[in-house]
Amino acid sequence: MSFDLILFGGTGDLAWRKIMPALFQAFRHGSLPSGGRIIGVARDDLSDDQYRELIKARFDHVDLAKRPSEEEFSRFAALLGYLRMDLSNPTDYAALAAKLQQRPAEVVVMYVATAPGLFTTVCEQIAAAGLNGPQTRVVLEKPLGHDLASNRAINQTVRSVLTEQQIFRIDHYLGKPSVQNLFAMRFGNSLFEPLWRRETIANIQITIAEELGVEKRGAFYDSTGALRDMVQNHALQLLCAIGMEPPINAHADAIRDEKLKVLRSLKPWTPESLSQHAIRGQYAAGTIDGEAVPAYRDEKGVNPASRTETFVALRTEIANWRWAGVPFYIRTGKRLAGRDAHIEVNFRPAPHAIYQSPLANSSVANRLVINLQPKDGLELHLLAQGADQRHRAGTPTLAPVQLDLDFDKRFGSGRVGAYERLLLDVIGGRLNLFVRSDEQEEAWRWVEPILDAWSNDSAGPRPYAAGTWGPSAASAMIARDGYCWSEEC
């Protein structure tokens, strides 16, 4: 199948950090369809050869295992081309159309890896140049909008020139192998589904923690914040994967229909719940791996008086028959004590204790941990009686044990990465792992009261030292329910 992939923002950070390495891995694995062209588009004045040299130099900064040899890059570079464009200039889109007409392709992918403010301009100009035919697919990166109104405006414009089946709103978390195995665990096996409900589950925790600060994204991040950057998309998509009902089949709309139901079932915010169950923080100076790191307000590009949150902790519930009364906790932040993304499903303790346990809270031992990064796999924590047959007053004593399934060890290191999988799905026209417009709007609708409350809160985010797990208010929030974050139990 012949294809053209036009990468708007082809010299940008996302292009060389994520998209180009993913395309190369697909090429290396033999899964990238033959007869393809990859055309970088940007305002830089470069020739095809200069663009190839730029990408080659940038590959020196990706993970060693993902770097091409000289021979591999020589073959991959034959796919690469470049076109200088001013994305606000209609004449430049005519030049792009002429370039694509030189060799018509069966599939044309327009990957818009630009500033969000250019999304509507690019889509309108694509249509004006006649490049929105049925063979065209447009990929839109997050964030898609700054709030509900801007998200609706973008979607309305994009849908005016493209059908919903042509729009691929990307959330790379949905492409992670670990998230794919979350769906497989739930809907490909019968073991957990009977237990996946309020009668057996006490609480569910979603953690997406980063050691890094804002790096070179200070100006962007300062206008975005953790709630928009991580919760509205990644964290809520994980919550949907955990909370959704089994779809009737594996088709895109069947899956997205069930995710939408979860978003519509999230408990609405009230002034009381916003004050107690929506915690925001901002990192102060601290230590990471023994090295001093600056406070957020001292980062390059950040307003010295910034009130932008770098940490969020939320408590919510899914108000439906399956999950009524089960708290879902979400936390995410930068400059935390470790890089760790996982989902923790804590089961209720046995209703009648006939054994002794050294753990004060036996539900800590009855839990399923779905590791997303840097580990990728499942951990099942149980209580068992070991070789030591000590008894307390004639009652056997149990100890915690763990079953650990490491997917990288089981399936090998050559597994398909998130962007590689998603790019191949775009070329193949598979929408299963992409977000529909009504999902996005419902997610924005749920987070908007938090944004409004914080914009009117003169107190601002709570400070926390870099290298810790965030402000103490996040621990107090979960402790009010009698629970604790995994590192605190």
Q: Is 342 strand, coil or helix?
A: strand
Burial (CB < 10 A; 0-12, 13-18, 19+), residue 211, is middle
The per-residue pLDDT for 383 is 87
Nearest to 38 by CA among 419, 423, 414: 423
d(CA 363, CA 348): 6
Measured CA to CA in angstroms, residue 384 lies from 100, 306, 350, 362, 486 at distances of 64, 50, 13, 12, 20
The per-residue pLDDT for 94 is 96
DSSP 149-213: HHHHHHHHHHHHHS-GGGEEE--GGGGSHHHHHHHHHHHS-SSSGGG-STTTEEEEEEEEE-S--
For every one of its 489 residues, what pLDDT tens digit does the chain have, with 9 covering 90 and above? 799 999 999 999 889 889 999 999 999 999 999 889 999 999 999 999 999 999 999 888 888 778 899 999 999 999 999 999 999 999 999 999 999 999 999 999 999 998 888 899 999 999 999 999 999 999 998 878 899 999 999 999 999 999 999 999 999 999 988 888 889 999 999 998 999 999 999 999 999 999 999 988 899 899 999 999 999 999 999 999 999 999 999 999 999 999 999 999 999 999 999 999 999 999 999 999 999 999 999 999 999 999 999 999 999 999 999 999 999 999 999 999 999 999 999 999 888 878 877 665 555 779 999 999 898 899 999 988 875 555 555 667 888 889 998 888 888 766 788 899 999 999 999 999 999 999 999 999 999 999 999 999 999 999 999 999 999 999 999 999 999 999 998
The per-residue pLDDT for 390 is 55
The per-residue pLDDT for 415 is 75
d(CA 279, CA 471): 8
Scan for tokens 């030049």, then name that residue.
95
Q: Is 348 strand, coil or helix?
A: coil
**Degrees to nearest 5, angle at CA 345 with 343 and 346:** 135
The per-residue pLDDT for 233 is 94
The per-residue pLDDT for 71 is 94
d(CA 245, CA 256): 11
The per-residue pLDDT for 116 is 80
Active-site hit among 234, 277, 342, 381: 234
Which residues have CB under 8 Å from 452's CB, separation 6+? none
Bridge partners for 377 per DSSP? 371, 406
Instruction: Look up 172 and say whether it is catalytic.
Output: no
152, 157, 158, 161 alpha-carbon torsion, rounded to 10°: 150
Number of Cβ within a 10 Å radius of residue 397:
16
DSSP 399: E
Instruction: Give me the count of residues in the chain.
Output: 489
Asked if 210 and 358 touch (Cβ cutoff 8 Å), the reply is no
